[in-house]
């Protein structure tokens, strides 16, 4: 097993998810996203991922940044469609800013990174922040930092693993999810591989049927306002 090659690929996957699961308002984001998808599509994890990557490439070719931004707004921000929670606290505790955030803050404080709250408005247990943190831990591991490797494994096991299946299911079945439906398919394959690689078991659930989040769960939103770009550059030492 080529651990270095696997970790490089893991970092690229987490980086792609971070780019797609945080708010973006800069059309220049599209180039990086397309390039990453093209790279990963050359060696998909399975046949389902191969088809999903192909669909995503075609959608971006035909719709470009406008399609991606409009679908992201509908799936994650629109008050008129089903609600997709985006924090570990909500999935585990049915509320935002709960104990899962406190746990995630502890992991962040144990690392060399901090949330730049001037640029990244979401909480530490936001799915976009978690996957971005995972990317940084893997990149540090590639530089020989064993503490980061352990932190990454603990964040996956204790924070991401308990709720990621339910998040993927909600993303997959959302009525406005087309591009993001394929993102959900790729995430599902990737998480299964992560569990094997990190030797973390899939959490037991009382029912295999995912909870259905209706728009009644959605809190009133303020009008959308431009926000800073969210990607790895927003992590500061």
Does the residue 155 lie in any domain? Answer: yes
For 53, half-sphere exposure in the C-beta direction (CA atoms, 13 angstrom radius) is 23
Q: What is the largest CA-CA distance in the chain?
A: 49
224 has a pLDDT exceeding 70: no
Does the residue 123 lie in any domain? Answer: yes
Banded model confidence at residue 28, pLDDT cuts 50, 70, 90:
confident
Q: Which residues of 39-62 are buried (b: 16+ CB within 10 A; e: fewer)?
A: ebbeebbeeebbebbeebeebbee
Does the residue 224 lie in any domain? Answer: no
Q: Which residues of 124-162 are buried (b: 16+ CB within 10 A; e: fewer)?
A: bbbbbbbbbbbbbbbbbbbeebeebbebbbbbbbbbbbe
194 has a pLDDT exceeding 80: yes
Does the residue 84 lie in any domain? Answer: yes
* CATH code, domain carrying 91: 1.10.3480.10
Residue-wise pLDDT tens digits, 40-69: 999 999 999 999 999 999 999 999 999 999
Range of the domain at 166: 3-203
Report pLDDT for 22: 86
Q: At what angle do helices 99-109 and 127-142 cross, to 10 degrees?
A: 20
225 has a pLDDT exceeding 80: no
Integer Cα distance of 98 and 115 in angstroms: 17
What is the count of structural domains for the chain?
A: 1
Banded model confidence at residue 118, pLDDT cuts 50, 70, 90:
confident
Does the residue 231 lie in any domain? Answer: no
pTM for the model: 0.87
For 172, half-sphere exposure in the C-beta direction (CA atoms, 13 angstrom radius) is 14
Higher pLDDT, 232 or 193: 193
Does the residue 213 lie in any domain? Answer: no
Cβ contact 50:41 at 8 Å: yes
Does the residue 235 lie in any domain? Answer: no
Report pLDDT for 226: 46
| End-to-end CA, the chain | 32
Does the residue 227 lie in any domain? Answer: no
Round the average pLDDT of the chain to a whole number and report it.
88
78 has a pLDDT exceeding 50: yes
């Amino acid at each position: 097993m080529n651990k270095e090659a696997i970790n490089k690929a893991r970092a690229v996957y987490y980086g792609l998810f971070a780019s797609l699961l945080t708010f973006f308002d800069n059309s220049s984001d599209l180039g990086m996203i397309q390039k990453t998808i093209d790279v990963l599509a050359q060696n998909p994890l399975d046949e389902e991922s191969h088809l999903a990557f192909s669909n995503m490439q075609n959608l971006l070719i035909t719709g470009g940044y406008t399609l991606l931004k409009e679908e992201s707004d509908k799936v994650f921000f629109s008050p008129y469609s089903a609600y997709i929670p985006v924090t570990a606290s909500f999935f585990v505790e049915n509320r935002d800013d709960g104990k899962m955030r406190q746990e995630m803050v502890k992991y962040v404080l144990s690392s060399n990174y901090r949330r730049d709250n001037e640029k990244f408005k979401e909480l530490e247990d936001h799915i976009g922040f978690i996957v971005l943190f995972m990317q940084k831990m893997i990149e540090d591991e590639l530089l020989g930092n064993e503490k980061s490797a352990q932190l990454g494994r603990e964040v996956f096991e204790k924070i991401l693993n308990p709720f990621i299946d339910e998040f993927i299911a909600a993303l997959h079945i959302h009525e406005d999810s087309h591009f993001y439906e394929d993102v959900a398919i790729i995430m599902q394959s990737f998480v299964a591989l992560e569990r094997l690689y990190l030797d973390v078991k899939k959490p037991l659930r009382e029912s295999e049927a995912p909870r259905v989040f209706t728009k009644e769960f959605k809190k009133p939103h303020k009008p959308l306002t431009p926000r800073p770009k969210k990607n790895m550059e927003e992590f500061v030492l």
